[in-house]
Copies of this chain bind each other. A is one copy, B any other.
Amino acid sequence: MARVGLTTDRVVRAGAELADEVGFDQVTASELARRFDVKVASLYAHVKNSQDLRTRIALLALEELADLAADAVAGRAGKDALVAFANVYRDYGREHPGRATAARMRLDPETAAASAGVRHAQMTRAILRGYDLGEPDQTHAVRLLGSVFHGYSSLELAGGFSHSAPDSEESWTRILDALDALLRNWPATPTP
């Protein structure tokens, strides 16, 4: 019997492509097997189960995103860095909707701690060095940026901003302008 040359890596990559084509939650071992022209059981030598497959796709997406982000911010600072960084997330979500959804998947704490997710947080902090924020405000800002990137990408993917003016492109630009202004002018803790 001819061997197709399955490896965990190839299976996960094919899973990521499948996710982009049919949606992350339509990724099944069966469909993947069909694409490799292989029996389903054969896949189970390379991933523990279908949950494991999905988790690996998520980890792959997080790494790809982190690599792209690292590239984008290299040699930039201030608003320039912020915009480049933010666009990586948005563009990734539009080019790879399945992977992007995967990247938003809930991971158990240990898996998350060992994932490229930590690089994302570090890079966000690095960008904030271009603004004058001490702790704990820097952490608040990291969380705010994460929420906006995450949320915008997800709403845009869900079609929330299509079919209505102004177009998403313009909102995105202006939101980044606004975030930049906010970070330059972060309000002091109000005295209660």
Binding site for B on A (CB under 8 A): 25, 104-107, 109, 112, 136-137, 139-141, 143-144, 146-152, 154-155, 157-161, 163-166, 170-171, 174-175, 177-178, 180-182, 185-187, 189-190
CB neighbours (8 Å) of A159 from chain B are 106, 109, 112
Using known A-B contacts A143-B155, A151-B151, determine if residue A109 contacts B163 with beta carbons closer than 8 Å.
yes
In contact, A171 and B143 (Cβ under 8 angstroms):
yes
In contact, B151 and A139 (Cβ under 8 angstroms):
no
Which of B105, B112, B146, B171 contacts A140 (CB under 8 A)? B171
CB neighbours (8 Å) of A165 from chain B are 136, 139
Using known A-B contacts A139-B166, A144-B148, A147-B147, determine if residue A154 contacts B154 with beta carbons closer than 8 Å.
yes
In contact, B148 and A148 (Cβ under 8 angstroms):
yes
In contact, A147 and B144 (Cβ under 8 angstroms):
no
